[in-house]
Copies of this chain bind each other. A is one copy, B any other.
């Protein structure tokens, strides 16, 4: 567990896109954020109070979260002074960067000397068990995609927010770096050793109230040859009662795999259902989340209407339209 509230470190972000971790935290857990720290020349802005470390401390912040990624996922030399100061002033640090905080001797030393924690959320924090497949109480919903990076995390977060707004019991379960930083806990599934992947998902989504839903962040795709094993471990470890199919309809080829075309939604539905029903025979596909960012309004509405007709399921872009209809469909299960 990473301690909140956070102070978001945007460093010298070269553009707003590189601060997408900070953006995710600000959008989905604003209550966890005290403010932002920006260095000179920073081109990102979360529109929350700019603070010094001292001001952040006075505001109760506990952890400096690196909310920006530079090229290569390195811990930038220009950030060091302020990160070491943060440790000296009593903050923990959290990062989802490829380079680990713990591997930087100066940061590791400062953390040890000041009794602070370095949270590298790319690295599993524990040994997970082998999955046992035993049926758990409570309900689970998993977003599965035609490809990587089609909006699975966004969909799960949007549905979770909608459910909590309605007073329903829901917990977003993070399985990737950004999700873990947003919520402060989770499993970095792509870094777990093969034998324990499904067990890690079981651990992440334990027994719960009968009317509680875990909204599980999906990873990869059954049809993405680089990461499909992670996806199947999520399907089998998660024992989902409900699947949401996620698609980005303009993609010419699978992410990072020229020559591989994304599957159709019917094929994703049929394949995912067969596999999901191994772990949970009652599993159903309840809706479709369409990422229409590359379509204009008319195109988006036309596309979703067509999908809805042909698939016989609600098709929604939660970014444009909210997740209400997906939650309605989930509640009808």
Contact = CB atoms under 8 A, between A and B. Distances in A.
Contact of A228 (B191, B226, B232): B232
B226 A257 contact: no
Contact of A229 (B194, B223, B260): B194
A237 interface: yes
Interface in A125-143: 130-133, 135
B199 A195 contact: no
Nearest to A200: B194
B190 A278 contact: no
A265 B149 CA distance: 34
A208 interface: no
B195 A190 contact: yes
A225 B192 contact: no
A38 to B, nearest CB: 32
Contacts of A194: 189-194, 197, 227, 229-230, 233
A232 B236 contact: no
Q: How many copies does the complex hold?
A: 2
Contacts of A257: 132-133
Contacts of A267: 274
A279 interface: yes
Contacts of A192: 193-194
Contacts of A193: 190-194
A234 B127 CA distance: 24
A142 B96 CA distance: 36
Given A274-B267, A274-B271, A226 B189 contact: no
A283 interface: no
Interface of A: 130-133, 135, 189-195, 197-199, 222-223, 225-233, 236-237, 254, 256-257, 259-260, 263, 267, 271, 274-275, 278-279
30 contacts: A132-B226, A132-B256, A133-B225, A133-B254, A189-B194, A190-B194, A190-B195, A191-B193, A191-B195, A192-B193, A193-B193, A194-B197, A194-B229, A195-B226, A195-B227, A198-B226, A198-B227, A198-B228, A199-B226, A222-B232, A225-B236, A225-B278, A226-B236, A228-B232, A228-B233, A228-B275, A228-B278, A229-B230, A260-B278, A271-B274
